[in-house]
């Protein structure tokens, strides 16, 4: 397996991985209208591929990965206020 790190703060928001049957786009640094961050993962089947084969998609073409707030361990007050604020904002948006 090859791991590619793709984080905020870099020069690009889009990472594209191309294979024989499809291309996968990972788009970072996105925000919904309420300011909640999310990542979009898009799959594009190759129609046709270089060998003339037709690939089709089963399932959704786009998946969103939403931030649900910070993880706070019991007894850890360091980020408690910030975690509650982000979590409250996410819960309000998801209603």
Q: Taking 60 as the threshold, does the pLDDT of residue 79 lie above it?
A: no
For the chain, domain boundaries: 14-69
Q: Residue 11: what pLDDT?
A: 78
Q: Are 29 and 15 in contact (CB under 8 A)?
A: no
| Omega before 48 within 30 of 0, i.e. cis | yes
Average pLDDT over residues 51-56: 92
pTM of the full structure: 0.70
């Amino acid at each position: 397996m090859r791991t590619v790190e793709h984080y905020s703060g870099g020069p690009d928001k889009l990472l594209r991985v191309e294979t024989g049957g499809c291309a996968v786009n990972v788009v970072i640094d996105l925000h919904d209208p309420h300011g909640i961050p999310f990542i979009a993962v898009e799959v594009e089947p190759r129609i046709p591929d270089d060998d003339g084969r037709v690939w089709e998609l089963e399932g959704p073409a786009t998946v969103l990965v939403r931030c649900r707030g910070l993880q706070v361990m019991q007894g850890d007050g360091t980020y408690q206020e910030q975690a509650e604020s982000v979590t409250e904002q996410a819960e309000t948006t998801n209603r």
